[in-house]
Amino acid sequence: GRYEQYKHGDTFAAEWINGPVKATVIKDEAADPKFGTGVMTITPWHDHTDFDIAERHGLEKQQIIGFDGRLLDVAGEFTGQSITEARPNIVEKLKDKGLLVKVDDKYIHNLALNERGKGVIEPQIKLQWFIDVNRPVVEWKGQLRSLKEVMRAVIEDSDVEIIPKRFEKIYYSWIDNLRDWCISRQIWWGHQIPVWYKADEVYAGVKSPEGQGWKQDPDTLDTWFSSSLWTWSTLINPDLSDDYSLSLQDLLERSPDFKAYHPTSVMETGWDILFFWVARIVLSTTYVTRQVPFEKVYLHGLVRTEQGKKMSKSDPGSIIDPMDVIPEYGTDALRLALVSGVNAGQDMRMGISKIVDNRNFCNKLWNIARYIESSGKGQGAPEPKQPADHWILNKLSILTGVIDNDLTNFRFSEAYQNLYHFIWDDLADWYIESSKAEPNPAVLRHVLDSTLVLFHPFAPFITEAIWQNLGHEELLASQLSPKPVKTDTSEAAKFDEIQKIVAEARHLIAVTGAKKPKLEYQDSPLLEEQGSLIERLGRLGAVQEVSTSQAGLKLVGTKYDVWLDIDKATAQAYAKKLAEQKSQRELAVKRLEGRLANKPYIERAPKDLIDETKQSLDAEKQILKALEAEITSFSKSLE
């Protein structure tokens, strides 16, 4: 286009800040022909992109800014000025020389800032230590391969499994674009580089060299390099760690812990350091030991505020400090809040309310234990007698298998939710309420003990406290998964039917406002046998058998002929209320759909407002769907 007359490598004289300079034409894809003039100057010593251009084309790199942040002699009259001082002065000089075309004060670009001081970071070229990731140095599965190749191969060959699997793509992207790793840092804190210099001599070793005049390299190792040695260095025999006559391979071979426990079964860490730590561990461990460091990597998500901001120790205002919340709500409540409602690799929003909810759940478990303890010692093997006994033991057996499967497959949140449902709903709301009339202490105690075993990995403190209060001598952590108790599935199925009857009766009573109506049935041995239990659980006036079909609301969720003695006027009033609510929701849906179909609204409204409208529409549709289902079900009850 505009500069076809110039060839790569051409030079020409150009007036510049401190007089004429010789400019060299470099054609490179880094320049954007559509941005401004399509031409850019480069400063390879102080810019990453410019450095890459200079590397590609073998250009000279000249330092302009000193390590003290002031301009060097090459800057002429601006020598010694800081960057902030020099910038306006240089602009004035360019203006005086007629070289300034425009100053764009509204131009927005990315600046690298110091995390703590927030000062602008100016890149500098310094002599550093690097690890060559492309050089073939690792004997891996019979081939000499580079570190980079091995890092990719361990995932491709399933020697290491990343959970969740979707992060493999991110891992490969990092590895494929991997450059030589700079492992030296110019900071005080860290392992000092084990290299010494004396004149032209260089010595590297684990011990300092003998003789006078040696000076150790002042740089320290990158913290990720030091921590990448974790999986195997922590397993070295401490009695041999100071024996420098041994090679590292001999040292590992003579370390029982390394031979017994390496590689690690599961490494658990955050997805945000998959590259910084996990990949570096793979690099160093495969090189040193010729083994993978671990078999599986489980990645958790980031903890964020309720507004979605990442919690970080560098921003104290964003965090929930465990030292503050544990004394008030308990360690278990915090643990449960962190595991609930979040899958592997998924970020979570965390607030005090979530911790409070889980504290309340822990209190629920404590109260369950107190009730069961007060119901009798429950010594001996559990023997189910009532349908509810068979039902809860069958539920417990199923739960045990589900929890084992969830934990084996790293579904920690699902495991907790299954336990939560069992403890709060099945055990507390149904079985314990059912047992109050005729408790079975042995079954109650067996279910509680088994529940504590299953729940212990999630809430170790409260479960151990309850376990000890119950008189157990062994630690809860040493217990195996509970073994199933033989049950009669037909008896358990009876309680399923009782549940259906009670749940539907409670719902109809709640929505119609009926006061302790009678439940009437025809030809049902189950209701005849369990009538008193159904009456108490359903908060009914009575449960009685009738010879002919009666007026009232029919229960449609059970296979038995059952009615609630609720008069038609009450039922029809509720049906009318449902119809009115349905009409209101239909109007709301129509209004929101019209707003989103309005082109000017979509073009002019802020994105946040449009998203809020879409969310409101989805919510209204869900309510409408639930109302329609309720109307259908209630209509059947009226038939």
| Predicted pLDDT at 550 | 63
Contact between 517 and 550 under an 8 Å Cβ cutoff? The reply is no
Mean pLDDT of 378-384: 86
Q: Per-residue confidence at 573, pLDDT binned at 50, 70, 90?
A: confident
pLDDT-based confidence at residue 1 (cuts at 50, 70, 90): low
Q: Answer whether 265's CB lies under 8 Å from 295's CB.
A: yes
Measured CA to CA, the distance from residue 150 to residue 146 in angstroms comes to 6
CA–CA dist 129, 409 (Å, integer): 41
Instruction: Between 564 and 500, name the one with better pLDDT.
Output: 500
Tokens of 283: 């690099």
Q: Tell me the pLDDT of the chain averaged across its residues.
A: 91
pLDDT at residue 638 greater than cutoff 70: no
pLDDT in tens, 459-513: 999 999 999 999 999 999 999 999 999 999 999 999 999 999 999 899 888 888 8
**pLDDT value at 318 more than 70:** yes
pLDDT at 271: 96
Q: Is the pLDDT of residue 359 over 70?
A: yes
Is pLDDT above 70 for 551? no
Confidence (pLDDT) at 25: 93
pLDDT above 70 (res 402): yes
pLDDT in tens, 335-355: 999 999 999 999 999 999 999
Residue 628's pLDDT is: 79
Q: Which residues sit opposite 617 in a β-bridge?
A: none
pLDDT, tens digit, for every residue of 109-156?
888 888 778 888 999 999 999 999 999 999 999 999 999 999 999 999
Q: At 191, is the pLDDT very low, low, confident or very high (cuts 50, 70, 90)? A: very high
Place of tokens 């150790």: 216
CA distances from 507 to 136, 500, 516, 558, 575 (A): 71, 11, 12, 14, 14
State yes or no: pLDDT of 70 exceeds 80: yes
Q: What angle do CA 208, 210, 212 make, to 5 degrees?
A: 105
Given a cut of 90, is residue 547 above it in pLDDT?
no
User: Above pLDDT 90, what percent of the chain?
Assistant: 69
Both tokens assigned to 375: 């119901």
Query: Over the stretch 412-424, which tens digit does the pLDDT of each residue have?
Result: 999 999 999 999 9
Q: What's the pTM value of the predicted model, to 2 decimals? A: 0.80
pLDDT at position 115, please?
77
Q: Pairing mode, if any, of strands 294-300 and 195-198?
A: unpaired
- pLDDT tens digits for 227-236? 999 999 999 9
For residue 549, name the pLDDT band (cuts at 50, 70, 90).
Answer: low
pLDDT at 108 (0 to 100): 86
pLDDT at 637: 64
pLDDT at 559 over 90: no
- Give the per-residue pLDDT at 74: 92
Q: Compute the distance between CA of residue 71 and CA of residue 46 in angstroms, rounded to an integer.
A: 12
pLDDT tens by residue, 165-184: 999 999 999 999 999 999 99
Percentage of the chain lying above the pLDDT 70 cut: 98
User: What mean pLDDT comes out for the span 529-558?
Assistant: 85
Q: Is the dihedral of CA 207, 213, 214, 218 positive or negative?
A: positive
The token duo for 189 is 């804190």
Identify the sign of the CA torsion 497, 502, 508, 510.
negative
Q: Residues with Cβ < 8 Å from 455, sequence gap 6 or more?
A: 365, 419, 423, 463
Residue 8, pLDDT score: 92
pLDDT of residue 635: 72
Residue 629: band (very low, low, confident or very high) from pLDDT cuts 50, 70, 90: confident
Residues 6+ apart with CB under 8 A from 155: 162, 168, 171, 172
